């Protein structure tokens, strides 16, 4: 901290040791009581430091002998008063724990630095060392809540004298230095007395009303209720009215929970029905009804409503997509009908070929005459498919039928080679091709059913 490495090391080691002792003592003590000042003029006690996270302030409320975590909207806090009070609490905590030891260490380090300056022969080096040490004493005051500012100013003034003496010896003009005006002052906001049980509970009831989280709010109210139920007889004068007030608030929260649960279930059921019917207007009506019901209930569950509206937006998007798909299907239904009509002839040829293909698959035939007819049918089906006009939605069906015809042709030709050669190998190859043809024909039936079916809402993945 000061101008020589040796004394810097001594000071840092001493401060680290003192800080370790102070932290150990602090862990054994109770945490400090902070205050969160609200814009409505009320305050909330926080056991230990509060935390600001995004748009929330997290406080630890002492309720009876227990602590309860609660989040408050950050914009409901008077931050100027809250931050000033927090600085006073930290300063008081520092003064009661680490302050005396660290001030003593500072005094020892100043003495050591003055001795080091005194034995330095170079006047310019003396001035540089004393100036650096003086600045660091001022910095110490600023970083330690202005603790014992007058005493620290006196320590800094010792370096003023050292600087003046060194400048005189160096023949430089002397400059008057003023320390006290720039010395950090301790926080001036006075600390409030520890709150009573009644103060704590009344503040907690007020804070519960501000919390945007219904779960936290209800949990806190139930904790307060338990403390009030077990309050001492002499506290009945103020505890009983508060207990009734808290019981009423819990009843309101319970009714709101049930109401919003029913609203969520009924709205999602209705919106899902409309979405499956591609009724965009119906889903929009469901959203408007949900918003109107939220207004009627006093907008008491913003988080639940945000979740519900997100799900409704998803259903509205699904309904719009399905509406477009069905309108597209309706616009092309005549073209699809003509395509299905053009499929009837090749499909009939393949249906007539199934018995022969099954016999080839089982290596059970067919006789040469029927094998010739099978080749004729597959050739006819292939010719019809080659000249067919295929719409986009019919591409899958056309491809499956074309593949089935190709496999059927391979099966017939392979069986014919096996018959002519009396060799089993081409017969097995023909059986495999026949199996493929039959498999694609079976899949074709499912695709044809989908082609004639109105588009439906897809289940979410």
pLDDT above 60 (res 19) = no
Instruction: With respect to residue 215, please indicate whether it lies within any of the assigned structural domains.
Output: no
CB-based contacts of 172, cutoff 8 Å, min separation 6: 127
Q: Give the model's pLDDT for residue 255.
A: 93
Q: What is the pLDDT of residue 232?
A: 85
Domain final residue pick, 302, 324, 346: 324
53 shares its domain with 130: yes
Average of per-residue pLDDT across 134-155: 86
Q: Note whether 13 and 146 are same-domain residues.
A: yes
Asked whether residue 154 is assigned to any structural domain, the reply reads: yes
- Residue 372 belongs to some domain of the structure: yes
Residue found by looking up tokens 């006290």 in the block? 180
Q: Residues 271, 152: one domain?
A: no
* Mean pLDDT, residues 330-346: 85
Q: Are residues 340 and 437 in the same domain?
A: yes
Contacts of 300 (CB under 8 A, 6+ apart): 214, 253, 256, 260
* Torsional sign, CA 405, 407, 410, 415: negative
Q: How far apart are CA 44 and CA 60, in angstroms?
A: 10
Q: For residue 414, what are the domain limits?
A: 333-451
Does 289 map to a domain?
yes
- pLDDT for the residue 189: 86
Q: Quick check: is 413 in a domain?
A: yes
Kindly state the average pLDDT of the residues 203-211.
87
Question: Do 239 and 370 have their domain in common?
Answer: no
pLDDT tens digits along 260-275:
999 999 999 999 999 9
Quick check: is 197 in a domain? no
Q: In this predicted model, which residue has the larger pLDDT, 175 or 350? A: 350
pLDDT at 440 over 80: yes
Domain count, the chain: 3
337 plus 318 within the same structural domain: no
Question: What pLDDT is recorded for position 354?
Answer: 92
Mean pLDDT of 211-233: 87
Residue with token string 């320390």: 179
């Amino acid at each position: 901290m000061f101008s020589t490495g040796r004394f810097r090391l001594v000071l840092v080691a001493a401060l680290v040791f003192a800080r370790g002792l102070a932290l150990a003592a602090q862990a054994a003590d109770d945490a400090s009581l902070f205050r969160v000042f609200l814009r409505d003029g009320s305050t909330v006690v926080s056991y230990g430091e509060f935390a600001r996270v995004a748009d929330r302030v997290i406080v630890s409320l002492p309720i009876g002998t227990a602590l309860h975590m609660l989040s408050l909207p950050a914009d409901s806090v008077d931050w100027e008063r809250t931050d000033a009070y927090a600085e006073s609490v930290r300063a008081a905590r520092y003064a009661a724990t680490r302050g005396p030891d660290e001030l003593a260490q500072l005094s020892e380090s100043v003495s050591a630095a003055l001795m080091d300056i005194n034995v330095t022969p170079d006047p310019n080096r003396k001035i540089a060392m004393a100036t650096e040490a003086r600045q660091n004493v001022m910095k110490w005051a600023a970083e330690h809540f202005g603790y014992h500012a007058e005493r620290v100013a006196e320590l800094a003034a010792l370096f003023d004298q050292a600087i003046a003496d060194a400048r005189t010896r160096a023949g430089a003009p002397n400059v008057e230095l003023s320390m006290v005006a720039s010395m950090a002052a301790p926080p001036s906001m006075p600390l409030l007395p520890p709150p009573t049980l009644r103060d704590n509970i009344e503040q907690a009831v007020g804070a519960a009303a501000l919390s945007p989280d219904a779960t936290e709010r209800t949990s806190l109210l139930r904790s307060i209720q338990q403390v009030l139920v077990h309050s001492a007889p002499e506290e009945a004068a103020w505890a009983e009215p508060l207990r009734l007030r808290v019981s009423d608030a819990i009843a309101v929260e319970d009714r709101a929970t049930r109401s919003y649960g029913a609203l969520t279930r009924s709205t999602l059921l209705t919106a899902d029905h409309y979405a499956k019917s591609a009724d965009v207007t119906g889903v929009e009506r469901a959203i408007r009804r949900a918003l109107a019901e939220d207004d009627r209930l006093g907008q008491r569950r913003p988080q639940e409503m945000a979740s519900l509206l997100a799900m409704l937006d998803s259903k509205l998007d699904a309904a719009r997509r399905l509406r477009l798909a069905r309108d597209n299907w309706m616009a092309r239904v005549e073209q699809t009908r003509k395509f299905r009509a053009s499929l009837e002839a090749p499909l009939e040829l393949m249906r007539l070929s199934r018995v022969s293909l099954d016999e080839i698959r089982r290596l059970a035939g067919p006789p040469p005459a029927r094998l010739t007819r099978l080749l004729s049918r597959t050739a006819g089906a292939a010719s019809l498919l080659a000249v067919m006009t295929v719409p986009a939605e019919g591409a899958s069906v056309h491809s499956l039928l074309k593949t089935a015809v190709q496999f059927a042709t391979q099966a017939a030709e392979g069986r014919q080679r096996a018959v002519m050669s009396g060799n089993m190998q081409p017969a097995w190859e023909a059986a495999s091709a026949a199996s493929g043809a039959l498999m694609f024909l079976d899949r074709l039936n499912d695709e044809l059913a989908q082609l004639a079916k109105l588009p439906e809402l897809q289940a979410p993945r």
